[in-house]
Chains A and B, each alone.
Chain A
Amino acid sequence: MPNWLDVNPRSGVPLYVQLVQQITHAMEIGILQTGEQLPTVRQLASELTIAPNTIVKAYDELAHLGLIESRQGVGTIVTANLNGALRPHQLETIFERLDALVRDAANLGVSEQELRARFEAALARFYRGVQGREGEGDTHDGATRATVDRQQFSRKE
């Protein structure tokens, strides 16, 4: 069973959005591979103790994004691969995070120049130290969820 799924019903983020984000993330980092089978609605409802309709909604959304497919008699299959349907979605998420970052910085009173300087510095650091930091960056990503990114980024400032 998917122990990488960890939804929080008490969050302000809708449950189905959490599911979509976490399943997508699992695909991004390779926990879920193309062709792999997702748990059935009933299994997942039982595992997470959440309404089956919520899971149906999340699966519908994932199917709509072209990441999964329901096949008669087989189940729900991951159809996404990193270069296919997943990529536009990933890019979209990344840029959304960028927007949020800029907005949060502005709200905190960080000036445009300072933010640009910081951004340049981050770029330089990443591309210079690419060997040493890649793995760390990945695991960090693995632990972070888009749901809490907004706060986490602002806290790091």
Chain B
Amino acid sequence: MSDMSAAQESVGNSRQPAAIELRNLVVKYGERPAVNGLNLTVPTGTIFGFLGPNGAGKTTTIKTMLGLRQPQAGNVRVLGYDAVAESMEVRARVGYVSEVNSLYDFLTIPQLSAFCRSASRQWNQGIVDRYVGVFGLPTKIKVGRFSKGMQSQLALSLALGSNPDLLILDEPTAGLDPLARHEFLNKLVAEIAAEGKTVFFSSHILSEVEAVADWVAIIRDGALVVCDELDHLKQTQKTLKLTYANLPPAAEVQALRDLPGVMSVAQEGRSVRLLTHGDVEALSQTIQARPYALRGVEIVDLDLEDLFLEYMKGGDNGR
């Protein structure tokens, strides 16, 4: 049971320095801020899903972590190193798989491996060979002739060759068919995360994040909307559906909005939907004790997609 205790260590170690720590990060393209005051903490040993609509600043954030872009303000620490001043140290310890398939298409796997070895501080060809074998990738032909799925698998295999403590994947499964995606994610959780490595991946495919991530962050317009353990989020964020006997007065709806634990309120005639945080049962009791007759009270569990949509529209009454 050695792997379990190893993983347990990584979970229980909340005192361990965070794998990634962003403080008030601002990154601009010209005058336009792509990342605007982003705060984020990625605990060590987690599979961290980084979510947000297109243009929210996910890729820019990742590029800044790797020193491909310089921030205009704020602080970026990756594995304890400053991503601006100690970018080399960061890059020596991080495996990166970028959004676009960015491998040299005129090289074969052995040639690409040789390139990576020459460009890395430490290199373990055995790891690469093992994953290349696991994925069944051909070593004789040029990478340009690989399918998209094979290129992603190779990019992952190569990223592991430097034995990184942290893997940063930018939309790693974009453009993969469902089977290739499943295989990719399976190796990610079963082989890489199980070794206690931290995996940070951006995605817009909520279902894959929901399946493999244990932590999620959602960003919008370059700022953090929510960052939490996924299970905790599902446990604490619920929708409370209230059906009133008569149309509730505006003052009552406003009063609901002000109740502790209510994050947003949406009203449609006699039915009111509350996005709640914390002890939903207690909140439900409180609301039922109020002087307006209720026809029905329903607690609805939220899946990640519901949560995502709630957060995307609930800008008015956010945390």
Direct contact of A and B (CB under 8 A): yes
A53 cross-chain contacts in B, Cβ below 8 A: 7, 10-11, 45-47, 193, 214
Cross-chain contact of A9 among B207, B295, B297 (Cβ < 8 A)? B207
The answer to whether A60 and B190 touch across the interface, beta carbons within 8 angstroms, is: no
Whole-angstrom CA separation of A71 from B1 in the bound complex = 8
Q: Assess whether A54 is interfacial by the CB under 8 Å rule.
A: yes
Q: Assess whether B252 is interfacial by the CB under 8 Å rule.
A: no
Cβ distance B180 to chain A, nearest Cβ, rounded Å = 13
The answer to whether B189 and A49 touch across the interface, beta carbons within 8 angstroms, is: yes
Q: Assess whether B127 is interfacial by the CB under 8 Å rule.
A: no
User: What residue in chain A is nearest B307 (Cβ atoms)?
Assistant: A12
Encoded as 1 (CB less than 8 Å from any B CB) or 0, chain A from 54 to 92 comes to 101101100000000011111110000000000000000
User: What residue in chain A is nearest B238 (Cβ atoms)?
Assistant: A12
Q: Assess whether A35 is interfacial by the CB under 8 Å rule.
A: no
Whole-angstrom CA separation of A49 from B313 in the bound complex = 30
Q: Assess whether B296 is interfacial by the CB under 8 Å rule.
A: yes
Whole-angstrom CA separation of A57 from B235 in the bound complex = 14
Cross-chain contact of A75 among B1, B11, B232 (Cβ < 8 A)? B1
Whole-angstrom CA separation of A76 from B4 in the bound complex = 9
Q: How many residues of chain A get a CB closer than 8 Å to chain B's CBs? A: 34
* A17-B303 contact given A51-B189, A53-B10, CB 8 Å threshold: no
* A59-B193 contact given A12-B301, A12-B306, A14-B230, CB 8 Å threshold: no
Whole-angstrom CA separation of A10 from B303 in the bound complex = 6
A42 cross-chain contacts in B, Cβ below 8 A: 3-4, 190, 194
The answer to whether B301 and A45 touch across the interface, beta carbons within 8 angstroms, is: no
Q: Assess whether B69 is interfacial by the CB under 8 Å rule.
A: no
Task: Report how many A-B pairs have Cβ atoms within 8 Å.
Answer: 106
* A15-B231 contact given A52-B193, A53-B11, A107-B296, CB 8 Å threshold: yes
The answer to whether B47 and A51 touch across the interface, beta carbons within 8 angstroms, is: yes
Cβ distance B273 to chain A, nearest Cβ, rounded Å = 15
Whole-angstrom CA separation of A52 from B300 in the bound complex = 27
Cβ distance B196 to chain A, nearest Cβ, rounded Å = 9
The answer to whether A49 and B211 touch across the interface, beta carbons within 8 angstroms, is: yes
The answer to whether B301 and A10 touch across the interface, beta carbons within 8 angstroms, is: no
Whole-angstrom CA separation of A12 from B239 in the bound complex = 11
Whole-angstrom CA separation of A17 from B235 in the bound complex = 9
* A10-B5 contact given A17-B235, A49-B185, A51-B189, CB 8 Å threshold: no
A70 cross-chain contacts in B, Cβ below 8 A: 1, 4-5
Q: Assess whether B116 is interfacial by the CB under 8 Å rule.
A: no
Cβ distance B242 to chain A, nearest Cβ, rounded Å = 11
Encoded as 1 (CB less than 8 Å from any B CB) or 0, chain A from 104 to 133 comes to 000111000000000000000000000000
Q: Assess whether A93 is interfacial by the CB under 8 Å rule.
A: no
Subset of 16 A-B contacts with CB under 8 Å: A10-B303, A12-B306, A14-B234, A15-B230, A41-B4, A42-B3, A42-B190, A46-B189, A46-B191, A53-B46, A56-B8, A59-B4, A60-B8, A70-B5, A72-B1, A76-B1
Interface residues of B (CB under 8 A from A): 1, 3-5, 7-8, 10-11, 45-47, 182, 185-186, 189-191, 193-194, 207, 210-214, 230-232, 234-235, 238, 295-298, 300-306
Given contacts A46-B190, A70-B1, 20 further A-B contacts (CB under 8 A): A9-B207, A10-B210, A12-B303, A12-B306, A14-B230, A14-B235, A41-B3, A45-B190, A46-B186, A49-B211, A49-B212, A50-B189, A51-B193, A51-B212, A52-B189, A52-B194, A54-B214, A72-B1, A74-B1, A107-B297
